Structure 1
Amino acid sequence: MTVRLTHPDGMLRQTDYAPVAVATGSRLVLLAGQAGVTPDFRPAAPDLAGQVHAALRNIVVGVRGAGGDVGNLARLTCYVVDWVPEKWDDVLAGIARAQESEGLPSPVPPLTIIGVQALFSPEFVVEIEATAVLE
């Protein structure tokens, strides 16, 4: 495996994501921000949890298309419209769906959430960027 997720001693002990990913490999895959959309550019769901799930599904499709798999994901950055901490449970629900349907690891790789005013379309409430490392 090219990515090892860790929780070094002395760091905050969260259970939903690993704070550190140690990656070795020869190919770096950088995925553009993926919205929670269908291939025909329509929102896959009206809610945050559904769009997180769909965005993660799109990331998995992209990583697999590059010759990797979910175990190669080393970093996720989520841009959430009008972020407030109360939205965390919806983000987690979308992640859980992707863990069940797409095999996303648990805990997920290092994850950063950034609140934004808007995305490409007013129907989109989340966009997720990803970095993967392949052999």
Structure 2
Amino acid sequence: MTVRRTNPDRLAPASGFSHAVTATGSRLVFLAGQTALDARGAVVGTTLPEQFETALANLLTALAAAGGSPSDLCRVTVYTTDVGAYRSHAPDLGRVWRRLAGRDYPAMALIGVVRLWDEQALVEIDGTAVLP
């Protein structure tokens, strides 16, 4: 499998994401939205960074169970109930991403939502990966 991340000079600098990702491989993995649920199904963490870390770890756990790794992620969508808080915590969230997933950034989008399935959830992350 090959993944090529493209960030054209004519676009704003990509910080924490890639503008385009081209992937070739034989298997697509569609990852369901993950929130900060623990193994018992309870939301853990009260701050956006705490919940982001758990949600990302859950996403990566599902990806690993499907045979993938963070570098296989090609597309990620982050849903949050507070875009302002997400922006203000962006440096912290970036550190969490790099610690758990490395520096191979997928194409990403952030979407503000009124609420998520679990009322206590502040963030949900889904994604698509391409595996060899």
The answer to whether TM tops 0.5 is: yes
Query: 2:77 is paired with a residue of what secondary structure?
Result: strand
AA paired with 2:58? N
* Two-structure CA RMSD over aligned residues (Å): 1.6
Aligned to 1:99: 98
Aligned to 2:78: 78
**1:37-75 CA deviation, whole Å, 9 max, x = no partner?**
211112221111111111111111111111111110001
Q: CA deviation at 1:129?
A: 0.7
CA contact (8 A) 1:36 1:52 kept: yes
Q: CA deviation at 1:108?
A: 2.1
Query: 1:93 is paired with a residue of what secondary structure?
Result: helix
AA paired with 1:18? S
Q: How does 1:1-135 map to 2 (within 5 A)?
A: 1-84=1-84, 86-100=85-99, 102=100, 104-106=101-103, 108-135=105-132
Measure the CA separation in 1 of the matches of 2:67 and 2:12.
Answer: 33
Q: CA deviation at 1:91?
A: 4.3
Q: Aligned pairs, how many?
A: 132
Q: TM-score, normalised by structure 1?
A: 0.88
AA paired with 1:110? A
CA contact (8 A) 1:57 1:98 kept: no
CA contact (8 A) 2:71 2:104 kept: no
CA contact (8 A) 1:56 1:95 kept: no
Task: Give the share of equivalent positions with the same residue, in percent.
Answer: 33
Measure the CA separation in 2 of the matches of 1:129 and 1:91.
Answer: 18
CA contact (8 A) 2:16 2:94 kept: no
CA contact (8 A) 1:50 1:94 kept: no
Alignment gaps of 5+ in structure 1: none
Measure the CA separation in 1 of the matches of 2:21 and 2:88.
Answer: 23
CA contact (8 A) 1:17 1:106 kept: no
AA paired with 1:123? Q
